[in-house]
């Protein structure tokens, strides 16, 4: 039942160290030896024991995923992405949800690190934006990869995967502008999240490129929540829509859904009288009626690349993964909630 490296070695007629070399893709193994060993591995359906590898080796086969994000859809997507990559590469994933406070963070990390040495951590927003965390990890000498909202130039490419919310917001705003909308509202998410400012900047840039002046009356400060979307729409469309808004950009799908709901209650036809767009392409955007035009963020793919980036760090120079994408731009998905200005 339990197949060990020795069984493989015996069958292949080599030493156990050679088998170890083969399964770790170390250099200096003759092609023929490699094949013999691989045949034995397959024949016995050998799976290296993770605990033993972690215990014996200098590098670990365990990575951690840390999240502090209320959005379950987001978390699951990120997790699935990292997980699928781990599975492919024989790594194990330790999940670590946590509500961020400087105080308990340190202890938690240290405990986690001590319990099982980690190859590294994948940090997701908004945790990934906290410099106190990255400082702590630097101090503890733990590898990490951050998924961040931002533009590629910002920071170092070795530790970050960027999601170009700026560009996506620029494009979605442009989409609305080219469809004749002149007065476009924007419902912002939490001020503390970097994605909020990035998306707002993209919105502003698109307006500027279309020679429209930015007017802060068109912006509502929300909270990335449904309620906040409801409030935002109410606010922007107040007093019989004196601002003559014909389109609203939601900072995320949840807020867009809220805005959509509020608009309906006000008797506004979507998309005839008002176009509404979301952000993220979460299941949310398909559970509204009409479905939301939004920016599709391939979170699972993003997190897969984050994992790959992390793996390259522990594996050292050998076995580098050259095809890692470190910058993603969400792409617009046009659905029924937006249309030309009428």
CB of 7 to DNA, least distance (A): 8
Q: Which does 15 bind (CB under 5 to 8 A by kind): DNA, a second copy, none?
A: DNA
The two tokens of residue 23 are 């399964």
Contact 326, 148 (CB under 8 A): no
Encode 221-242: b = buried (16+ Cβ within 10 Å), e = exposed: bbbbbbebbbbbbbbbbeeebe
- The answer to the question of residue 113 lying near DNA (CB under 7 A) is no
Q: Which does 93 bind (CB under 5 to 8 A by kind): DNA, a second copy, none?
A: a second copy
**Which part of the chain contacts a second copy (CB under 8 A), choosing from 15-23, 130-138, 211-219, 225-233?**
225-233
Closer CB to DNA, residue 142 or residue 172? 142
**Which part of the chain contacts DNA (CB under 7 A), choosing from 44-52, 174-182, 262-270, 333-341?**
44-52
Binder of DNA out of 39, 41, 49, 326 (CB under 7 A): 49
Closer CB to a second copy, residue 47 or residue 132? 47
CA distance 338 to 168: 16
- The answer to the question of residue 254 lying near a second copy (CB under 8 A) is yes
Site for a second copy in 27-56 (CB under 8 A): 45, 47-52, 54-55
Binder of DNA out of 21, 181, 204, 305 (CB under 7 A): 21
CA distance 126 to 176: 28
CB of 319 to DNA, least distance (A): 12
Q: Output the DSSP codes for 153-215.
A: GGS-TTTEEEE-HHHHHHHHHHHHHHTT--SEEEEE--TTSHHHHHHHHHHHHHHHHTT----
* Sheet arrangement for strand 92-97: 92-97, 62-67, 120-123, 144-149, 160-163, 327-328
Q: Which does 95 bind (CB under 5 to 8 A by kind): DNA, a second copy, none?
A: a second copy
Judging by beta carbons within 10 Å of its beta carbon (0-12, 13-18, 19+), is residue 45 exposed, middle or buried?
Answer: exposed
CB of 11 to DNA, least distance (A): 12
What residues make contact with DNA under the rule CB under 7 A? 2, 4-6, 13-18, 20-21, 23-24, 27-30, 32-33, 46-49, 52-53, 55-59
């Amino acid at each position: 039942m339990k197949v060990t490296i020795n069984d493989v070695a015996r069958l292949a007629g080599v030493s156990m160290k050679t088998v170890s070399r083969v399964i770790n893709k170390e250099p200096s193994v003759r092609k023929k030896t490699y094949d013999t060993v691989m045949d034995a591995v397959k024949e016995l359906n050998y799976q290296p024991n993770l605990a033993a590898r972690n215990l014996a080796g200098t590098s670990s086969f365990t990575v951690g995923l840390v999240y502090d994000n209320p959005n379950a859809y987001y978390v699951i997507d990120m997790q699935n992405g990292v997980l699928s990559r781990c599975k492919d590469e024989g790594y194990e994933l330790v999940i670590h949800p946590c509500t961020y406070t400087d105080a308990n963070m340190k202890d938690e990390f240290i405990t986690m690190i001590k319990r099982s040495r980690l190859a590294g951590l994948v940090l997701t927003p908004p945790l990934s934006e906290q410099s106190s965390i990255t400082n702590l990890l630097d101090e503890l000498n733990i590898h990490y990869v951050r998924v961040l909202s931002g533009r590629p130039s910002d920071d170092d490419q070795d530790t970050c995967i960027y999601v170009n919310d700026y560009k996506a917001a620029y494009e979605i705003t442009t989409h609305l502008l080219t469809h004749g909308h002149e007065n476009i509202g924007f419902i912002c998410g939490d001020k503390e999240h970097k994605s909020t400012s990035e998306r707002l900047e993209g919105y502003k840039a698109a307006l500027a490129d279309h020679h429209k002046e930015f007017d802060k009356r068109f912006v509502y400060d929300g909270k990335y929540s449904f309620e906040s979307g409801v409030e935002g729409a109410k606010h922007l469309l107040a007093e019989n829509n004196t601002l003559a808004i014909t389109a609203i950009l939601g900072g995320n799908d949840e807020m867009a859904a809220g805005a959509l709901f509020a608009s309906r209650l006000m008797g506004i036809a979507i998309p005839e009288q008002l176009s509404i767009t979301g952000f993220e392409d979460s299941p949310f955007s398909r559970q509204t009626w009409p479905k939301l035009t939004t920016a599709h963020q391939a979170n699972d793919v993003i997190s897969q690349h984050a994992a790959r980036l992390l793996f390259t760090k522990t594996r050292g120079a050998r076995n580098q993964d050259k095809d890692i994408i470190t910058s993603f731009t969400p792409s617009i998905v046009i659905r029924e909630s937006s249309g030309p200005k009428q």
